[in-house]
Structure 1
Amino acid sequence: MQPNIEIYTWRSCPYCIDAKALLKSKGVEFTEYAVDGDEQARSEMSKRANGRRSVPQIFIDDAHIGGCDDLHDLDDSGKLDSLLGIARS
């Protein structure tokens, strides 16, 4: 069963676009919250992300993963697939 994946983004942010592309390449579905100009939504994101206000902020099953670099680090270390419920071959 696929975990619940959430990503807070700005629509034109290149790091957000990159993080979404990595998730799409894994074939997983995610919920995107575009916080462009929405200070209330960004504040909510910041609370969930331990004060981080940069985008993207990524959560897997309510666990804070971090931003784009953090997501790629997980992928590079081979840990992302298991978090996403993907069997490695």
Structure 2
Amino acid sequence: MITGRYSRIRMPRIEIYTQPGCPYCVRALRLLEQKGTAFTEIRALHGTAERAEARERSGGRTTVPQIFIDGRHIGGCDDIMALDRAGKLDPLLHAA
């Protein structure tokens, strides 16, 4: 018989608005994949409701990717890369 305590580990909800062919989107997606984290990719082509949603949620930013962790706007590719270099991304991705 196996006994022990099991704790629920809550993984943060990660959403990334992207556009096909965008090298910054590919780079940000690759980083998230390398981190082994689950995320939702939202295709946000120019002129779509998804792109308008990304712009509204990000405070008016018109570029992709736009990345959100638990509803908090992280920014774009350069922003997530900077968080990773500073050692601040992993705690956001593995918040319990």
TM-score normalised by L of structure 1: 0.92
Match of 2:88 among 65, 79, 86: 79
Match runs of 1:1-89 below 5 Å: 1-85=10-94
Quick one: which amino acid aligns to residue 80 of structure 2?
L
**Gaps spanning 5+ residues in structure 2: where?**
1-9
For residues 41 and 23 of structure 1, the distance between their equivalents in structure 2, rounded to whole angstroms, comes to 21
1:47 aligned counterpart, secondary structure = helix
Quick one: which amino acid aligns to residue 47 of structure 1?
E
CA offset at residue 67 of structure 1? Answer: 0.1
Question: Matched residue pairs, number?
Answer: 86
RMSD: 1.1
How much identity, in percent, do the aligned residues show?
52
1:64 aligned counterpart, secondary structure = strand
Quick one: which amino acid aligns to residue 92 of structure 2?
L
TM-score normalised by L of structure 2: 0.85
CA offset at residue 78 of structure 1? Answer: 0.2
Quick check: which has more Rg, 1 or 2? 2
For residues 74 and 19 of structure 2, the distance between their equivalents in structure 1, rounded to whole angstroms, comes to 17
Alpha-carbon distance change, 38 to 29 in structure 1, aligned in 2, over 3 angstroms: farther
**Gaps spanning 5+ residues in structure 1: where?**
none
1:59 aligned counterpart, secondary structure = strand
